[in-house]
Chain A
Amino acid sequence: MLLLILVILICTTVAFMLLTQHEVEKIMWDTVTASVHDMRKLISLYVDNEYRSLLFHKEYALNRYKQQLKNVTGIVVSDIEYYHSLYEKDILSEQDAKAFALESVEKFRYGNNDYFYIYDTDLVAISHPDPNIKGTDMTEYQDVKGNYPLKMIKDDVYKTGNCFESFWYIRLDESKPVEKLSYNYYFKPWNWIIGTGVYIDDIDKDIESKLEEILSEFRKIFSKIRIGENGYFFIFDNNHIMLVHPTMEGIDFADIDIPGRGIEHWKHLVEASKNPDKAYAYFWDKPGDEGEYNYKKNAYVDFFEPLDWYIVSALYVDEMKEPSKRIFHSELLIALAALLIAFIVTFFLIKRFTKPVKILTAHAKQLTENNFGFTDSTELTNLTKSSRDEMGNLAQTFINMEKTLQKYIHDLKLTTAANEKIRSELRIAHEIQMSMLPKTFPAFPERGEIDIYAMLEPAKEVGGDLYDFFFIDNDHLCFMIGDVSDKGVPAALFMARSKSLIRSTSMMLKKGLSGIPSPSEIISEVNAELYTDNEHCMFVTLLLGILNVNNGHISLTSAGHNLPYLLKEDQIELIELPHRTPLGLRENVQYTSEELILADHQSIFLYTDGITEATNEKNEFFGEKKLEKTLRILSNSSPYTVLKMIIKEVHQFAGQTPQSDDITMLAIQYFGNKTKE
């Protein structure tokens, strides 16, 4: 009898352990997988965003070429019109007028020795610098892509009077065709098609180098993001070259030999991208134990079609099971203890009570059959009432044990799942934010004219502060500080997007204007770009400045940000700027730049409201007065000292009160032009 009870109890416990183990493992697995899918979504969004800014660049460059072609064609056409008018006024014969017009077109050169051609409506070249083409009927001319560009030009100019058309050539020593963009104008009085073209392959080269910049940004970010303990992201392209990978960057994936799978591993991954939400399982190395390919991995492959990129999120299966193993161990201890107690009690009582034991065993059976869910414990409860003795107590103990275990497992499932999700999201947001900031100081050790220091102290919840600085050219330092509305992953992504847009827009404008753009021009462009598709009405307040290190001249623009301070000898001054709407909220905002001069040894100080809105135990703000008082004392100090002392003051003020927003500061001290001295 005793043996029977013992067997039943052990069986119950084992069944119980196996069932809950399975259940908990499943829930944990689902949670972790869901957070991996979240990360994948974030990364796809990020890649897509960078790609769109690339397209924006390309279109901008192409439009500049088109405008240039139109302008220069306008000059040549007005020449021809002039000779045509002489003919109409009977000053020249038509033959002479045409000859003069042709001569002027033939002599005309611009840009990189670029020229004009003229075709008549039979597509015979009337004017062309190449003697092999001049006088020839070019109707059947085919370029290297098999197009008939001249036929297409003729059709188009008949319809609209002018048109753009591309010719494709293969240059000597090159295998890839390059594109020449032509603009053509139909001069009706003489039935002339006048046109010119320029090579635009430099646009593609520019885009390639931009792409390389984006990749290096990804390498920086991806190298810091881990899935579980050691899982990671990598990217390879359709030529199976590893673009981003913690250890195999630049390697041809097809060369990698894995035992049992030959060299086809990359093909399996490409195949897996057709089912991006389905895990593809394989065996691979883990950092620290290379060469054996012992670890099972699950990979999700996302194909980013515009760039032919395969983005792989690969996690180690054993690491994902780790949390549920921990739960299993604590469960095992509890179950063993319960088993032991139940067994001891049973041992002492078994000989005297057999009927109640039957009820108990029946209930235990029922418990296992119901997967430890709800059981009917009426009989058991009756037993506690009818036998007010040890047997009744045992029944009560049994009921209590059952309830405690059920509740314990339920709570454990919920809290573990919730914590895991929040932790992983916060970690990604934090990593995105911090990886975007320049953190090497001194930032420009070779520049004697300036000293710059900046810091960002993230809040636990992760805000969306940012700062950045970079030289636009040798003399102009662009610097900024900003604060994204809201917190968490969306804020971090918005911050990353704003920062890269400002960098790329200022470089692009500099190229377009062939001069230094003003902060207000940069901010206006970035605002328009951030406004599109901003369905959640996120925004960023921003202070953007450009310092000419030769003369201390600063242009400054504020988009709804806290005003900066000028630190002079023993005094400070609030720099008044017009208040304007933050970036991303309204489509057209007239931003303006204000000008000021930094004299030698003066500094400019920028900050976010994390400083002034830091609170203490009494719920008071640190405030602007306290900030100004501290700045006044520090007005002659180096940027590093200013920032370190202020953060010390803020910490002292806040005491034990947790920091609720990011704290960010940036200061630049100017020392005058060192190169002249």
Chain B
Amino acid sequence: MHITTNKEQDIRIISIDGKIDSFTSKDFQDSLITHILDGDDKILIDCSKLDYISSSGIRAFYFALRELNSNGIIALCSANENILHVLELVDFHADFPIFNTIDEALNQI
């Protein structure tokens, strides 16, 4: 897994390349927490190059959500069909907005 980040206006964009599984989820979680502690409260995870997410990856999202203040948001965009299927199963969009494209996400966050 490889993580790259940049900032557009006040939105922190984190792009994931590869898999979030039980080996890599800790790095992913640390990256999220670091940005939240640095003051970012609008975070968009770009999943266009994400191949797979395991349950420990989902855990990392909820762990980060708890660290975020109540006005903050963590959203996802551009996830592939397999990943959407997994996220749908656990009713993920109840806590994390999911957008089709990065532009749609940037407009609506």
Residue-by-residue, is B44-69 near A (CB-CB < 8 Å gives 1, otherwise 0)?
00000000000110110011001000
Find out whether the CB atom of A585 lies under 8 angstroms from the CB atom of B89.
Answer: no
Residue-by-residue, is A556-584 near B (CB-CB < 8 Å gives 1, otherwise 0)?
00001111000000000000000111100
Kindly provide the distance from the CB of A394 to the nearest chain B CB, expressed in whole angstroms.
Answer: 50
Within 8 A of B (CB), among A456-491: 461, 483-487
Whether B94 is near chain A, meaning CB under 8 Å from some CB there, is: yes
Can you list 24 contacts pairing A with B, beta carbon distance less than 8 Å? A461-B22, A483-B55, A484-B55, A485-B55, A485-B56, A486-B22, A486-B55, A486-B56, A487-B22, A536-B59, A537-B62, A537-B63, A537-B66, A539-B58, A539-B59, A539-B62, A561-B89, A562-B89, A563-B89, A579-B89, A579-B91, A581-B95, A585-B62, A586-B94
Kindly provide the distance from the CB of B107 to the nearest chain A CB, expressed in whole angstroms.
Answer: 27
Find out whether the CB atom of B55 lies under 8 angstroms from the CB atom of A580.
Answer: no
Whether B37 is near chain A, meaning CB under 8 Å from some CB there, is: no
Within 8 A of A (CB), among B76-109: 88-91, 94-95
Find out whether the CB atom of A579 lies under 8 angstroms from the CB atom of B56.
Answer: no
Whether A61 is near chain B, meaning CB under 8 Å from some CB there, is: no
Q: Measured between alpha carbons, how far is A536 from B55 in the docked complex, in Å?
A: 13
Residues from chain A with a CB closer than 8 A to the CB of B89 are 541, 560-563, 579
Q: Which residue of A lies closest to B51 (CB)?
A: A619
Find out whether the CB atom of B58 lies under 8 angstroms from the CB atom of A485.
Answer: yes
Interface size on A, residues (CB 8 A): 21
Find out whether the CB atom of A581 lies under 8 angstroms from the CB atom of B63.
Answer: no
Find out whether the CB atom of A537 lies under 8 angstroms from the CB atom of B88.
Answer: no
Give me 12 other A-B pairs in contact (C-beta within 8 A), A483-B55, A537-B59, A537-B66 excluded: A485-B56, A485-B58, A486-B22, A486-B55, A487-B22, A487-B56, A539-B58, A541-B90, A561-B89, A562-B89, A581-B90, A582-B90
Q: Which residue of A lies closest to B82 (CB)?
A: A621
Q: Which residue of A lies closest to B87 (CB)?
A: A579
Q: Measured between alpha carbons, how far is A562 from B90 in the docked complex, in Å?
A: 9
Q: Measured between alpha carbons, how far is A487 from B23 in the docked complex, in Å?
A: 10
Whether A327 is near chain B, meaning CB under 8 Å from some CB there, is: no
Find out whether the CB atom of B63 lies under 8 angstroms from the CB atom of A560.
Answer: no
Top-9 shortest CB links A-B: A560-B90, A485-B55, A537-B63, A537-B62, A485-B59, A579-B91, A581-B91, A486-B56, A585-B62
Q: Measured between alpha carbons, how far is A560 from B89 in the docked complex, in Å?
A: 5
Q: Which residue of A lies closest to B85 (CB)?
A: A624
Interface hub of B56, B62, B88 (most chain A Cβ within 10 A): B62
Whether A101 is near chain B, meaning CB under 8 Å from some CB there, is: no
Q: Measured between alpha carbons, how far is A536 from B91 in the docked complex, in Å?
A: 20
Residue-by-residue, is A576-608 near B (CB-CB < 8 Å gives 1, otherwise 0)?
000111100110000000000000000000000
Kindly provide the distance from the CB of B56 to the nearest chain A CB, expressed in whole angstroms.
Answer: 5
Instruction: Point out residues on B near A: beta carbons under 8 Å.
Output: 22, 55-56, 58-59, 62-63, 66, 88-91, 94-95
Whether A405 is near chain B, meaning CB under 8 Å from some CB there, is: no
Residues from chain B with a CB closer than 8 A to the CB of A483 are 55
Residues from chain A with a CB closer than 8 A to the CB of B55 are 483-486, 539, 541
Kindly provide the distance from the CB of A299 to the nearest chain B CB, expressed in whole angstroms.
Answer: 36
Q: Measured between alpha carbons, how far is A486 from B21 in the docked complex, in Å?
A: 9
Residues from chain B with a CB closer than 8 A to the CB of A562 are 89
Kindly provide the distance from the CB of B76 to the nearest chain A CB, expressed in whole angstroms.
Answer: 16
Find out whether the CB atom of A586 lies under 8 angstroms from the CB atom of B59.
Answer: no
Residues from chain B with a CB closer than 8 A to the CB of A486 are 22, 55-56, 59
Q: Identify whether the interface residues of A are mostly helix, strand, loop, or mixed.
A: loop
Q: Measured between alpha carbons, how far is A560 from B88 in the docked complex, in Å?
A: 8
Residues from chain B with a CB closer than 8 A to the CB of A563 are 89
Find out whether the CB atom of B22 lies under 8 angstroms from the CB atom of A538.
Answer: no
Kindly provide the distance from the CB of B1 to the nearest chain A CB, expressed in whole angstroms.
Answer: 15
Q: Which residue of B lies closest to A624 (CB)?
A: B85
Find out whether the CB atom of A580 lies under 8 angstroms from the CB atom of B59.
Answer: no
Q: Measured between alpha carbons, how far is A462 from B66 in the docked complex, in Å?
A: 27
Interface hub of B56, B63, B88, B89 (most chain A Cβ within 10 A): B89
Q: Which residue of A lies closest to B55 (CB)?
A: A485
Residues from chain A with a CB closer than 8 A to the CB of B91 are 560, 579-581
Q: Which residue of B lies closest to A538 (CB)?
A: B59
Kindly provide the distance from the CB of A303 to the nearest chain B CB, expressed in whole angstroms.
Answer: 34
Residues from chain A with a CB closer than 8 A to the CB of B22 are 461, 486-487
Kindly provide the distance from the CB of B26 to the nearest chain A CB, expressed in whole angstroms.
Answer: 10
Q: Measured between alpha carbons, how far is A539 from B54 in the docked complex, in Å?
A: 12
Kindly provide the distance from the CB of B85 to the nearest chain A CB, expressed in whole angstroms.
Answer: 9
Residues from chain A with a CB closer than 8 A to the CB of B56 are 485-487
Q: Measured between alpha carbons, how far is A60 from B25 in the docked complex, in Å?
A: 39
Q: Measured between alpha carbons, how far is A579 from B87 in the docked complex, in Å?
A: 10
Residues from chain B with a CB closer than 8 A to the CB of A484 are 55
Q: Which residue of B lies closest to A461 (CB)?
A: B22
Q: Which residue of A lies closest to B22 (CB)?
A: A487
Residues from chain B with a CB closer than 8 A to the CB of A585 are 62, 95
Residues from chain B with a CB closer than 8 A to the CB of A536 are 59, 63
Q: Measured between alpha carbons, how far is A579 from B94 in the docked complex, in Å?
A: 10
Kindly provide the distance from the CB of A584 to the nearest chain B CB, expressed in whole angstroms.
Answer: 9
Find out whether the CB atom of A579 lies under 8 angstroms from the CB atom of B88.
Answer: yes
Residues from chain B with a CB closer than 8 A to the CB of A560 are 89-91
Q: Measured between alpha carbons, how far is A541 from B55 in the docked complex, in Å?
A: 9
Q: Measured between alpha carbons, how far is A486 from B90 in the docked complex, in Å?
A: 15
Interface hub of B66, B88, B90, B95 (most chain A Cβ within 10 A): B90
Within 8 A of B (CB), among A509-555: 536-539, 541
Kindly provide the distance from the CB of A163 to the nearest chain B CB, expressed in whole angstroms.
Answer: 40
Q: Measured between alpha carbons, how far is A562 from B89 in the docked complex, in Å?
A: 7
Q: Measured between alpha carbons, how far is A560 from B94 in the docked complex, in Å?
A: 12
Q: Given A486-B22, A486-B55, A486-B56, are A579 and B90 neighbors across the interface (CB < 8 Å)?
A: yes
Q: Which residue of A lies closest to B94 (CB)?
A: A581
Q: Measured between alpha carbons, how far is A450 from B25 in the docked complex, in Å?
A: 42
Residues from chain B with a CB closer than 8 A to the CB of A561 are 89
Q: Measured between alpha carbons, how far is A585 from B96 in the docked complex, in Å?
A: 13
Residues from chain A with a CB closer than 8 A to the CB of B63 are 536-537
Q: Measured between alpha carbons, how far is A586 from B92 in the docked complex, in Å?
A: 11
Q: Measured between alpha carbons, how far is A537 from B89 in the docked complex, in Å?
A: 18
Kindly provide the distance from the CB of B60 to the nearest chain A CB, expressed in whole angstroms.
Answer: 8
Residues from chain B with a CB closer than 8 A to the CB of A537 are 59, 62-63, 66
Q: Measured between alpha carbons, how far is A539 from B65 in the docked complex, in Å?
A: 14
Q: Which residue of A lies closest to B58 (CB)?
A: A485
Kindly provide the distance from the CB of A646 to the nearest chain B CB, expressed in whole angstroms.
Answer: 20
Residues from chain A with a CB closer than 8 A to the CB of B59 are 485-486, 536-539
Residues from chain B with a CB closer than 8 A to the CB of A580 are 91
Q: Measured between alpha carbons, how far is A585 from B66 in the docked complex, in Å?
A: 10
Q: Measured between alpha carbons, how far is A560 from B95 in the docked complex, in Å?
A: 13
Q: Measured between alpha carbons, how far is A37 from B66 in the docked complex, in Å?
A: 31
